[in-house]
Amino acid sequence: MGSKRKRPSLRASEGSVLIQVLWTLAILVLLGLALGYTTALDQRLVSYQRDRLTALYLAKAGYVRALVELERGPIPQTDSYLDSWANNPDAFRLTPLGPGSFTVSYALPGQDPPAGVVYGIVDEDRKININTAPKAILARLPGMTEEVADALLEWRAKHKSLVVIEDKPFKLLEELWLVDGMTHEVFQALEPFVTVYSDGKVNLNTAPREVMAALGMSEGLVSKVL
C-alpha cells in the first residue's frame, strides 16, 4: 500500500523535471536564435562598412585620375574639349581597381544615356556664375523667369553683407531652392548651366550653346564658335 501511495509523487516529480527541461531547451533555442541574429547583423554591418570604405577609395582614385589628366594639359593653360580630361573613355570609363572599378562621367542636359554621357571632367568655367552674373544674363538662362531672377538678385544683395571671408552669397547650387519662386522645373533647367565655383569669366572653348545665348551672343555667332 505504501509503495502505491508514493507513485503519484514520483510521477509529479518526473513531470516537473520534464517541464524544466523543456523550458531550458526553449531558453537555449531563443538564446541561439538571438545569437544567430546578432552575428548575422554584425556581419551585415561589417559588409556595409567594407563596401563604404571601398567606395570611398574608388572615389579618391577617380579624383586622382582626374588630376593626372588635368596635368597633361598645355602650358599656359587653355581648357578646351581637345584636352585629355574633357572626353576620354580610355582614361575614365570603368577603370578597374582592386575589388571594384570607377568611372568619371557626367550626363549632357537633354540627352539620354549612353549617347548623352561624357567620360571626363566638367569645366565649371563653361557655366554662368550665379554669384556674379547680372540680371540680363540670368534672365536669358533656360527656365529662368524675371521674378526668379529678381528674387535671386535680392538674395545675393541680402546675403552679400553677411559674407566675411569670401564674397560668395551662394556657397552651393542647392541654395537656389531658398530663393523665392524657385520650382523643380526652373532648378532642373538651370542646374546644368550655372555654377558657384568659377571666377565669373566664361570659357567659350567649353561653353554650351545655352550659356553663349545667355551671354547675349547672337545665334549666328554661337554657331560660328561651336
Same domain, 118 and 135: no
Q: Which of 76-85, 92-101, 129-138, 140-149 has the lowest mean pLDDT?
A: 76-85
pTM of the model: 0.71
Same domain, 76 and 128: no
163 within 8 A of 184, measured Cβ to Cβ: no
The mean predicted confidence, pLDDT, of the chain is 85
Same domain, 112 and 143: no
- State mean pLDDT over 61-85: 84
- Which tens digits make up the pLDDT trace of 108-166? 876 666 668 899 999 999 999 999 999 999 999 999 999 999 999 998 888 776 555 45
Which residue(s) pair with 210 in the sheet? Answer: none
DSSP letter at 191 equals: G
* 14 pLDDT tier (thresholds 50, 70, 90): low
Q: What are phi and psi of 34, to 5 degrees?
A: -65, -40
Angstrom distance (rounded) from CA 80 to CA 206: 6
Same domain, 58 and 108: yes
Q: Which of 17-21, 131-135, 139-143, 183-187 has the lowest mean pLDDT?
A: 17-21
Alpha helices in the chain (DSSP H): 2-71, 89-92, 135-139, 146-160, 184-190, 209-214, 219-225
Angstrom distance (rounded) from CA 56 to CA 42: 21
> What is the span of the domain harbouring residue 150?
124-225
Place of cell 544615356: 113
* 12 pLDDT tier (thresholds 50, 70, 90): low
